[in-house]
Structure 1
Amino acid sequence: MSSVVFQSSLPGLECLHRGKVRDVYAIGDDRLLMVASDRLSAFDVILPDPIPGKGEMLCQISNFWFAKTAHLVPNHLTGDSVASVLPPGVSLQDYGRRSVVTKRLRPLPVEAIARGYLIGSGWKDYQASGRLCGIELPVGLQQASKLQQPIFTPSTKAAVGDHDENVSFDTIVAAIGAELAEQVRDLTLAIYRYAADYALERGIIIADTKLEFGLDGSGKLHVMDEMLTPDSSRFWPADQYREGISPPSYDKQFVRDYLETLDWNKQAPGPSIPGDIIEGTRQRYAEALWKLAEIKLD
């Protein structure tokens, strides 16, 4: 693995945004350099301890899925080399595998979420009301139950430090219009079904995933940011899945489960993470990258 990057530093480039994981720089007027850091967020709070190599793994698995789903939806990648845009003196070894040059899109203010299983905030909402994002679900479902068919359960796109909120499809229609909302919903479900089928052949259940979309200058919809990563999805070993529990995972649920044991109110600042939890998380991300994409990073 290359050096740990908690926060990128690229002198001479304008930093437009620092998100929970990614730092975004302007490359002229029509392109961006997107850098995946080794930061880890949980419950929408950035934790103080990085996961070594995490940004590289996220970037590589996203690139894999962008290529695999290009027949379904355009994506933000330009194909331009990272080396061609890095400032002089910045190490390609540090940034080459964690960065991409992308189109400069107008992001939609929605987290597009597909769920095939009832877990996380969806399980909590179901327990409280029997519904999820306005969708009535069958009675008697358990934690991690497989849904009859995948559902689209959008949320608001919160600022760094704020919490996303599950909302109804009608709320998204009001925000971006019916035609665009239907496009986002249909593409999100198509991507999820395609990826879930592919992953299951490799022994991984994709329980849910979160996607982001943006529009180019002509109004064409693109998937952007990241795609089907252990940060944005729940990956479960298929041979260890059963209803009624939060299954073992290849994603940051391992960290969430640890944090749930602490006396922490899920507000910033986040607590420090022990070394064994950091290493366990790194290993899970690496295993997902190998199982899904057959990529190993030194």
Structure 2
Amino acid sequence: MNDTGELPGWTHVYSGKVRDLYVPTKLMTDDDSWTGDPLATSPVVLVVASDRVSAYDHLLEPAIPGKGALLTSLTHWWIDQLPEVPNHLAHPLDDRLEALELPEVPAEVADRATLCRTLDMFPIECVVRGYLTGGGYKEYVATGAIGGIPLPEGLENGDRLPEPIYTPAWKAPLGEHDENITYERTVELVGEIVAEQLRALSLEIFARASAIAEARGVILADTKFEFGADRATGIVTLADEVLTSDSSRYWDAAVFASAATPELRMASFDKQIVRDWLSANWEQSVSETPPTLPHEIVEQTAARYRELLERLEQPAGV
């Protein structure tokens, strides 16, 4: 499953479904009675993306080879395209970090590791939708709106929206499901000033990223961003994975324009292959444990992850 385990100079403090977090061991106390939160006290965290894959709230076997490195490269590539947006990457020459004499990032995880400044994260998933699909489409069919935002009548699955919309979600505690919320609810959670900054930044980044992707023959249908406050300056800062295949829905523009059915035109550059195979081969009511993924499904999924990065990295218009 590409589990990282212990890393020299770093102490493991948290594991999510697909990522592991570490802080510098030298910043941890040797006192066994210490109960501090290392993510609250350490100025940096090492985020290591694994090859693990999850779907329908389950970790699956086997892992997707190279997935962690591909998604890490994709985040770094997008951050390079967005130099005007404050981000969470930690730079060794930063005055606040230089004096810490941080340990080296171990070579065994270097291609899938990101050294980040710790932020005070906002409990909001900032979702932006440029196209009508997924859960948004289901909500539109039922209500004529998404997240309380009314949309024109007669839209079909996969249609481009008149303009991108911001439909935030509340980040639920670990083990619970995130909850779609209105913009007004975000104001209650983080205050009016921050709520407006989150909305404006999300829409601005989405517009910029959409143009970059379209110039390379790729449609960015929707995505989710996460932000936190810089602990020294309070500046709202882009964090976590950025515009990856796991946080975004990408389609091939040429296929989208020519395919005969919605299912074909919206074939995404992500783990949708895995979801589709599970839907056809796993009855959750019969077995709580998902089946092992076939080799060909694993290989096809890995190829889709690789193809997206290759497509985006090529010069615009090629």
Alignment TM-score > 0.5, same fold: yes
Q: Which residue matches 1:292?
A: 312
Q: Establish whether residue 138 from structure 1 lines up as the match of residue 182 from structure 2.
A: no
Q: Which has the higher helix share?
A: 2
Structure number with greater Rg is: 2
Q: Which residue matches 1:176?
A: 190
3-state SS of 1:264 partner: coil
Q: Which residue matches 1:206?
A: 220
Do the aligned residues in 2 keep the contact of 1:118 with 1:146 (CA within 8 Å)?
A: yes
Task: Tell me which of 12, 15, 39 is aligned to 1:15.
Answer: 12
Alpha-carbon distance in 2 for matches of 1:225, 1:169: 21
Do the aligned residues in 1 keep the contact of 2:229 with 2:236 (CA within 8 Å)?
A: yes
Q: How many residues align?
A: 285
3-state SS of 2:68 partner: helix
* Paired residue type of 1:16: V
Q: Which residue matches 1:153?
A: 167
Do the aligned residues in 2 keep the contact of 1:207 with 1:235 (CA within 8 Å)?
A: yes
TM-score, structure 1 as length reference: 0.88
C-alpha distance 15-181 of structure 1, shift in aligned 2 (>3 A): same
Do the aligned residues in 2 keep the contact of 1:54 with 1:285 (CA within 8 Å)?
A: yes
Do the aligned residues in 1 keep the contact of 2:10 with 2:103 (CA within 8 Å)?
A: no
Q: Which residue matches 2:269?
A: 250
Task: Tell me which of 272, 280, 295 is aligned to 1:275.
Answer: 295
3-state SS of 2:114 partner: strand
Please, which runs of 5 or more residues in structure 2 have no aligned partner? Answer: 28-41, 94-101
Do the aligned residues in 2 keep the contact of 1:213 with 1:224 (CA within 8 Å)?
A: yes
Which one scores higher on RCO, CA 8 angstroms, separation ≥ 6? 1
Task: Tell me which of 44, 51, 62 is aligned to 1:49.
Answer: 62
Q: CA deviation at 1:43?
A: 3.3
Q: CA deviation at 1:12?
A: 5.3
Q: Which residue matches 2:96?
A: none
C-alpha distance 76-255 of structure 1, shift in aligned 2 (>3 A): same
Write out per-residue CA displacement over residues 177-215 of structure 1, whole angstroms, 9 at most, x where no aligned residue.
111011011111111110111101101001001111111
* Paired residue type of 1:77: L
C-alpha distance 270-66 of structure 1, shift in aligned 2 (>3 A): farther
Do the aligned residues in 1 keep the contact of 2:86 with 2:237 (CA within 8 Å)?
A: yes
Q: CA deviation at 1:15?
A: 2.2
Alpha-carbon distance in 2 for matches of 1:74, 1:236: 27
Q: CA deviation at 1:249?
A: 1.5
C-alpha distance 14-268 of structure 1, shift in aligned 2 (>3 A): farther
Task: Tell me which of 83, 89, 101 is aligned to 1:77.
Answer: 89
